[in-house]
Amino acid sequence: MKKLLCGAALSALLAGSNAELAVAQTPKNTPRTSIALKHGAHDLGKRTDPMMERWRNYGLGQFLHWGVYAIAGGHWEGKYYGGAAEWIRSWREMPKDAYDNLYKQFDPKDFDAKAWAKQAKDMGAKYMIITTKHHDGFCLWPSEFTDYDVSNSPYKKDIIGPLVEAYDAEGIDVYLYFSVIDWNHPGYRSVLKTEEDREEYEEFKEFTKNQLVELLERYPSTKGLWFDGTWDAAWKEQAAFADELEAELREMVPGLIIGSRFRPDDYGNRHFDSNGDLMGDYEQGWERKLPKTIEDVKGNDWDCVMTVPENQWGYHSDWRGHVKTSFELIEMLVRSVALNGNFVLNFGPNGEGGIRKEETQLAAEIGDWMDVNHEAIYDCGYLDWEKQDWGYYTQDRKTGKIYMVVFNMPLNGALRVKTPDKVKLDKVYSLQDGKKFTPEEIHKNEYFIHYNSEEKIKSPMVIVIESTSGEEGSDQVYQKAKT
């Protein structure tokens, strides 16, 4: 499998100018140690193979939370449940038995995999993550290993297969969400207290493994697994099992992508092992929150998964509290890309398989913006220029083009740009209409780009900078360019 940075190279990195970055991989309050681990991170540094490069350049993804919880939609017998809709089974007002029988009503007449995929495509998503099984254990595919699946619902048909097919057809990569927590399996435990617990949990582990292998066998075009529900004490004891299983799954699908939420290390640490090294291909801890600075991401790949309301993943018919606008979501998307991450926006279809009007509207608004401005998102990442208050820089990793994504247009239209030494701004123009700007140099390495339109910008605008970095002596060229 991947081997990216050997011990010697790592020492060199630590000794060199990137030392801060490498050391920064140690989580706060954890001293840098070298504990011998059998099941810690096996590879250090970023994966550079084509599948991971592809992942890194997605920019925007779609998350889909769908299951029988969508039928309840955050209510039970007229009472409102204020928690996340997909957790309603854990609410004391809803009898477990009632929840566990909801699947008998699962018959989503409006489900149209192609329409979902088309909407995601129009929004500009490059990958999609679908909940094959959430914590309740209900499987959206016909599983050989449980009866609690779609084949025993009135709908009867596989949901995952048509989704994989439809999204593949739209050129959107599919990732399978899988919850290790499974409230339906008799062997599932959150804590292992007795010998009997341990015995039953062994069966649960076997079941988990069987289901994962089954998913990859059934849907071989899967690009990765998105794990969840791995925080239980019982699972945190399973370092050896999870390590072996992860290796087996990676064998099945070359290039398979798995984030940091799957396996614990020998001491039960998750995401980062006891030495502070990332376990998995990317950091999976940015949920409903975003990093503020590049230091926060510790040099790792990462994704942010985001809800439209405050904390609803599955369908809740009654969104209360703050509901995000497309402007806010686009800013989150751009901030993610500017800090080398992907942004994944969640959708929670209803019990009939329909996508709610708010989500449809947001998808369309984001899509309209992406239509014009996707160049500033796809294949783009961090640019090491001083951040300015108007918004974010992104840079195309292949062409080197720089994008200024402006969210806060100054009243006088003067957009400050500070460049590193010896950088020359060759061409500056609007991505929307190609209109050229002539930067005004106000100091060495500092410019104003004047946006002089009377028109107030309605959506975040993008200015492209094509620049060159000069060698020694190029200051002169740069100085000449001033006159």
Binding positions for ligand FHN, rule: CB under 6 A:
84, 86-87, 228, 287, 305, 313
Tokens of 482: 């001033």
Shorter beta-carbon distance to ligand FHN: residue 230 or 326: 230
Q: Which residue is nearest to ligand FHN, using beta carbons?
A: 313
Q: What is the pairing mode between strands 391-396 and 402-406?
A: antiparallel
Element (H, E) at 405: strand 402-406
Q: By CB neighbour count within 10 A (0-12 exposed, 13-18 middle, 19+ buried), where does 468 fall?
A: middle
Distance, in Å, from the CA atom of 220 to the CA atom of 194, rounded to the nearest integer, reads: 38
Closest distance between ligand FHN and the C-beta of residue 168, in Å?
Answer: 23
Shorter beta-carbon distance to ligand FHN: residue 270 or 401: 270
**DSSP string covering 283-302:** EEEEES---SSGGGGTT--E
Q: By CB neighbour count within 10 A (0-12 exposed, 13-18 middle, 19+ buried), where does 261 fall?
A: buried
Shorter beta-carbon distance to ligand FHN: residue 81 or 313: 313
Closest distance between ligand FHN and the C-beta of residue 133, in Å?
Answer: 11
Closest distance between ligand FHN and the C-beta of residue 304, in Å?
Answer: 10
Shorter beta-carbon distance to ligand FHN: residue 197 or 287: 287
Closest distance between ligand FHN and the C-beta of residue 352, in Å?
Answer: 21
Tokens of 366: 């984001």
Closest distance between ligand FHN and the C-beta of residue 347, in Å?
Answer: 12
Nearest to residue 290, comparing CAs of 335, 260, 258, 226?
335
Shorter beta-carbon distance to ligand FHN: residue 86 or 281: 86
Distance, in Å, from the CA atom of 264 to the CA atom of 234, rounded to the nearest integer, reads: 11
Shorter beta-carbon distance to ligand FHN: residue 84 or 338: 84
Distance, in Å, from the CA atom of 23 to the CA atom of 33, rounded to the nearest integer, reads: 11
DSSP state of 322: -
What does the chain come to in residues? 483
Asked whether the beta carbons of 378 and 57 are under 8 A apart, the reply is yes
Element (H, E) at 116: helix 113-123
Shorter beta-carbon distance to ligand FHN: residue 90 or 151: 90
Closest distance between ligand FHN and the C-beta of residue 160, in Å?
Answer: 16
DSSP state of 88: G
Shorter beta-carbon distance to ligand FHN: residue 288 or 444: 288
Closest distance between ligand FHN and the C-beta of residue 285, in Å?
Answer: 9
Closest distance between ligand FHN and the C-beta of residue 371, in Å?
Answer: 28
301 φ, ψ to 5°?
Answer: -75, 155
